[in-house]
């Protein structure tokens, strides 16, 4: 990634297929509104390159919603084709036991991915479930970061029974145990963690390797306490993320301009914190 040419780094970008016949996808579009961006690989690459925004891309390995998981090798290959502005994270369902562990080992050995993405509410696990620890052990040894979905889920919102998505799995307090037990594994808590924002801030303050990304919400809806800490004690640990294609970077960045973030903190959130976390300073 040629970071010097980039104006920002979006650490939360979904590589998805446009599955109009999928109930969960259609409900998510209704929940988030029309983002105005196209789904598809070429559209994604063109969007970010034209705006000089770097991005971390991933798919999500899950079986609850029926959405297609793009294989990790395809995600990595797509990122490699666009390596001037794109990095790949992999996703495995850590509840798959030895299969997940071996997949993580294989991907790490190949050197094609820069971290992992987990979504406990749709993968249906508590982050501190000891059955997941063998997976963490592999990632911790490699010192690679993991993005965890936290808080409310737009996926399943409005569907009968929430589409089977249980919000309890998004409680960030589960991640506190993981941060204690795997101190060499950087953790990114994705999204403002409604309704557990105070808990997320506390964990991020307390655990040196824990970060927060601001994806999935328009900045104009950020709770005041999140803005307060982003400006002060967490200014080096908060990251720009959009949740593309559900929220466009154009919208996110426009709204970010209008909230009370200090001028000296904006470049940290938009780019510099991600550069440091992802090892892009050299």
Q: Please name the residues in contact with 86: beta carbons below 8 A apart, sequence gap of 6 or more.
A: 1, 45, 48, 54, 55, 56, 57, 78, 79
pLDDT (tens digit, 9 = 90+) per residue, 257-274? 999 999 999 999 999 999
Average pLDDT over residues 2-28: 83
Domain boundaries in the chain? Answer: 3-277
Judged against a pLDDT cut of 90, whether residue 126 lies above it is answered with yes
| Average pLDDT value for residue range 73-89 | 97
How far, in Å, CA of 37 to CA of 244, rounded? 8
Q: How confident is the model at residue 19 (pLDDT cuts 50, 70, 90)?
A: low
Quote the pLDDT of residue 20: 63
Domain 3-277, CATH homologous superfamily name and number: Metal-dependent hydrolases (3.20.20.140)
The model's pLDDT over 189-241, given as tens digits with 9 standing for 90+, comes to: 999 999 999 999 999 999 999 999 999 999 999 999 999 999 999 999 999 99
């Amino acid at each position: 990634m040629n970071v010097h040419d980039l104006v920002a780094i979006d650490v939360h970008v979904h590589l998805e297929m446009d599955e109009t016949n999928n109930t969960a996808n259609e409900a998510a579009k209704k929940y988030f509104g029309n983002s105005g961006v196209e789904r598809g690989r070429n559209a994604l690459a063109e969007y970010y390159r034209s705006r000089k925004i770097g991005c971390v891309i991933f798919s999500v390995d899950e079986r609850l919603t029926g959405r297609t998981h793009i294989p990790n090798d395809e995600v990595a290959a797509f990122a490699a084709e666009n390596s001037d502005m794109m990095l790949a994270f992999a996703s495995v369902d850590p509840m798959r036991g030895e299969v997940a562990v071996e997949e993580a080992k294989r991907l790490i050995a190949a050197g094609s991915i820069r971290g992992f993405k987990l979504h406990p509410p749709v993968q249906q696990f508590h982050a501190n479930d000891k059955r997941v620890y063998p997976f963490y052990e592999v990632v911790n040894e490699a010192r690679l970061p993991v993005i965890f979905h936290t808080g409310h889920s737009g996926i399943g919102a409005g569907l009968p029974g929430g589409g089977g998505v249980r919000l309890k799995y998004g409680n960030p307090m589960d991640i506190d145990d993981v941060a204690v037990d795997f101190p060499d594994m950087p953790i990114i808590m994705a999204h403002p963690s409604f309704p557990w924002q105070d808990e997320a801030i506390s964990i991020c303050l307390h655990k040196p390797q824990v970060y927060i990304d601001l994806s999935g919400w328009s900045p104009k809806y950020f709770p005041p306490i999140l803005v307060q800490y982003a400006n002060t004690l967490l200014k080096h640990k908060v990251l720009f993320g959009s949740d593309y294609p559900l929220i466009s970077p154009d919208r996110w960045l426009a709204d970010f301009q209008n909230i009370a973030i200090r001028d000296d903190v904006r470049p940290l959130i938009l780019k510099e914190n991600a550069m440091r976390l992802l090892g892009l300073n050299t």
